[in-house]
């Protein structure tokens, strides 16, 4: 916080008040100060007849509210065929067709997410056959887009596997 002299603060205050009087400045916020009944009437009179520009769309009015089965069906019918007509071009541009595709130059977390979406997660660890929380483990340490290079292991087996196979030393993302 900057510290101003008493004289500097007085000059700033005077300049601010002068600007407010001349209509060149915005009056400081009244946030947290309740409006009087007279102020409420003035605000109401000013806003009367104005078009509600921020919420005139039906979608924004229904946002967050439960929709009936009939309404959901009508929304579904409206959306049908829009992809074919080119109205929703971003849908279906996954993988190599996407303009942001990086191929094998993908980062560590993005590659894990790519594999998670494609490699089905089993109920049990592939080594100890116990039901535990599972991690994706890379077999070779090369971190490539090859699903046969990945397995689902529990945390303990994953750490042991990486230690035994020296995955920590091979991994490119560690360099």
pLDDT tens digit string along 49-81?
Answer: 776 655 556 666 667 788 889 988 887 887 776
To the nearest whole percent, how much of the chain has pLDDT over 90?
Answer: 22
pLDDT one-digit tens code per residue, 23-41: 777 666 677 778 889 988 9
Q: Is residue 134 within 8 Å of 112, Cβ to Cβ?
A: no
pLDDT of residue 148: 92
DSSP state of 135: E
Question: CA–CA separation, 164 vs 134, rounded Å?
Answer: 19
Is 60 inside a domain boundary? Answer: no
Is 163 inside a domain boundary? Answer: yes
Is 170 inside a domain boundary? Answer: yes
- Residue 171 pLDDT more than 80? no
Question: CA–CA separation, 172 vs 142, rounded Å?
Answer: 7
- Residue 155 pLDDT more than 60? yes
**Residue 134, domain extent:** 106-174
> In this predicted model, which residue has the larger pLDDT, 26 or 117?
117
pLDDT of residue 174: 47
pLDDT of residue 77: 80
**Any residues with CB less than 8 A from the CB of 45 and at least 6 apart, and which?**
none
> In this predicted model, which residue has the larger pLDDT, 43 or 78?
43
Is 137 inside a domain boundary? Answer: yes
Is 147 inside a domain boundary? Answer: yes
Is 142 inside a domain boundary? Answer: yes
Q: Is residue 122 within 8 Å of 152, Cβ to Cβ?
A: yes
Is 2 inside a domain boundary? Answer: no
Question: CA–CA separation, 69 vs 77, rounded Å?
Answer: 12
Q: Is residue 139 within 8 Å of 150, Cβ to Cβ?
A: yes
Judged by average pLDDT, the poorest of 61-65, 83-87, 110-114 is 83-87
**Any residues with CB less than 8 A from the CB of 168 and at least 6 apart, and which?**
162, 174
* Nearest Cα to Cα of residue 115 among 142, 93, 91, 90: 142
| Mean pLDDT score of the chain | 80
Q: Is residue 121 within 8 Å of 152, Cβ to Cβ?
A: yes
- Residue 85 pLDDT more than 70? no
Average pLDDT over residues 148-174: 79
Question: CA–CA separation, 171 vs 141, rounded Å?
Answer: 5
Number of domains in the chain: 1
Question: CA–CA separation, 36 vs 144, rounded Å?
Answer: 67
């Amino acid at each position: 916080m900057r510290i101003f002299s008493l004289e500097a603060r007085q000059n700033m205050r005077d300049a601010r008040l002068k600007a407010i009087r001349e209509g060149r400045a915005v009056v400081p916020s009244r946030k947290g100060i309740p409006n009087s009944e007279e102020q409420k009437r003035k605000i109401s009179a000013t806003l009367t007849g104005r078009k509600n520009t921020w919420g005139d769309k039906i979608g924004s009015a229904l946002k967050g509210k439960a929709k009936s089965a009939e309404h959901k069906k009508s929304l579904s019918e409206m959306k049908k065929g829009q992809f074919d007509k080119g109205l929703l071009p971003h849908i279906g541009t996954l993988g190599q067709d996407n303009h942001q595709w990086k191929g094998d130059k993908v980062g560590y977390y993005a590659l894990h997410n790519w594999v998670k979406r494609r490699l089905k997660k089993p109920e049990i660890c592939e080594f100890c056959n116990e039901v535990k929380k599972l991690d994706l483990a890379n077999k070779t340490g090369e971190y490539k887009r090859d699903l046969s290079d990945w397995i689902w292991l529990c945390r303990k087996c994953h750490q042991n596997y990486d230690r035994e196979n020296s995955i920590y030393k091979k991994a490119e993302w560690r360099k």
